Amino acid sequence: MISTLATVVPLQLADRVLISLTSISGLILVASGLTIIFGLMGVLNLAHGALMMVGAYTAYAVQSAGFSPWLGIVIAPLVVGVVGVAMEVTLIRRLYDRPLDTLLATWGVAIVLQEAVTIAFGTSQKSVSPPLEGSVSILGVTYPAHWAFIIVVTVVVMAITIGLFAYTDIGIMALAVIQDREMAAAVGINTRVSDRTTFGFGSALAGLSGAIMAPLLSVNSTMGIAWLADSFLVVIVGGVGTFTGTIAGGILLGGLDNLFRTVISGYTSIAQAAVLLVALIIIRYRPQGLVPAAERGE
């Protein structure tokens, strides 16, 4: 979870609320890509954290080449989207009905990406500047502008993504392919291209989240691992296959995380462990999650 946010000394309620909102938003944003790839497509992508990491490094690379942080935020999803499509074409498409092998192969990809980034950029921690410096005043509290930016981006991204899949032709077709491949093919949709695009889109979201979250985090090759676990938990607990599920999961787990940190202050890892335990219990007793996808004649 976002430990850098929560190390702030206990504050007034408004502070707490805003910090919680940011950390919840961050969770949802990072998990959004996995919602598509795992939630919708059913691909157990253990490279999700690494894709986020590549997004963060792309933002870094763009910045260290002298360009504006905004450009980094635009380029990151493009780069990672391409990586995602490459993954789908070479690997994922062979493994659609082999879930355990998908877990393993994508973990292999995660390692490859981690090593590639280390070779290219070295092992030192990198830092990334946010596009919006300074602070804003909300509810009488002084608040870093970037933190507010994260909340805004998350809301916009979720709205666009939900809208895409619910109202646009591309989105509806993509859903059709996922839910009933044969039918979609019979109607003339190119399922291969659809899979590729959907997977690429999910990867791009992961990359975007990496670029957006990077200013808050230490950018290193293994930064994605913690987010990988968090994303899976948010998606599974929230409800595999629905965006509202991810939002619910993010609110629940992010909220609990902040709650535990406030209550058990000083023992952040215990708070983390407590959240993970809650998630485990939910997985065991309600595996369909909080907001399950509707029954899809299977």
Partner 1 sequence: MATTDAPVELKSPASIAKFAGLLALVALPLFVSEYQVSTWSTYLAFALLALSIDLVWGYTGLLTLGHAAFFGAGAYVAAKLLKEVPAVPDVAVVFLVAPALAALLTLGLGWFLFSADVKGSYFAITTLIVSIIFESVAGEFVGFLGGFNGIYGIPSIQVVGFELTATMSYYLALGVLVGSYLLLRLLVDSAFGRVLRGIRGNQERTEFFGYDTQQYRLIVFTLSGAMAGVAGSMYATMDGFVSPPLLGFVLSTQVVIWIAVGGRGTLIGAVFGALLIQYLNSTLSDVLINYWEMGLALLFIAVVIGAPQGIVGLLSDTVEGIRTNLESTNRSDLRAGGEADD
**Binding residues vs partner 1 (CB under 8 A):** 44, 91, 94-95, 99-101, 103-105, 107-109, 111-112, 115-116, 118-119, 222, 225, 229, 232-233, 236, 267-270, 272-273, 276-277, 279-280, 283-285, 287
Q: How far is the CB of 288 from partner 1 (least distance, A)?
A: 11
Interatomic CA distance for residues 2 and 150, integer angstroms = 13
Task: Indicate the residue among 47 and 251 with the shorter CB distance to partner 1.
Answer: 47
Task: Indicate the residue among 119 and 156 with the shorter CB distance to partner 1.
Answer: 119
Interatomic CA distance for residues 92 and 116, integer angstroms = 20
Interatomic CA distance for residues 206 and 46, integer angstroms = 12
Phi, psi of 67 (to 5 degrees): -90, 170
Q: How far is the CB of 207 from partner 1 (least distance, A)?
A: 20
Q: How far is the CB of 36 from partner 1 (least distance, A)?
A: 17
Residue type, 200: G
Q: How far is the CB of 123 from partner 1 (least distance, A)?
A: 9
Q: How far is the CB of 125 from partner 1 (least distance, A)?
A: 16
Q: Give the CA distances from residue 216 to residues 103, 105, 115, 128, 144, in Å, rounded to whole numbers and listed in that order.
A: 29, 30, 23, 8, 11
Beta bridge partners of 144: 135
3-state secondary structure at position 141 = strand
Task: Indicate the residue among 187 and 277 with the shorter CB distance to partner 1.
Answer: 277
DSSP state of 93: G
- How is residue 56 written in tokens? 């963060």
Task: Indicate the residue among 56 and 233 with the shorter CB distance to partner 1.
Answer: 233
Q: How far is the CB of 287 from partner 1 (least distance, A)?
A: 7
CB 25 within 8 A of CB 150: yes
Interatomic CA distance for residues 101 and 161, integer angstroms = 28
3-state secondary structure at position 96 = coil
Task: Indicate the residue among 165 and 227 with the shorter CB distance to partner 1.
Answer: 227
Task: Indicate the residue among 101 and 133 with the shorter CB distance to partner 1.
Answer: 101
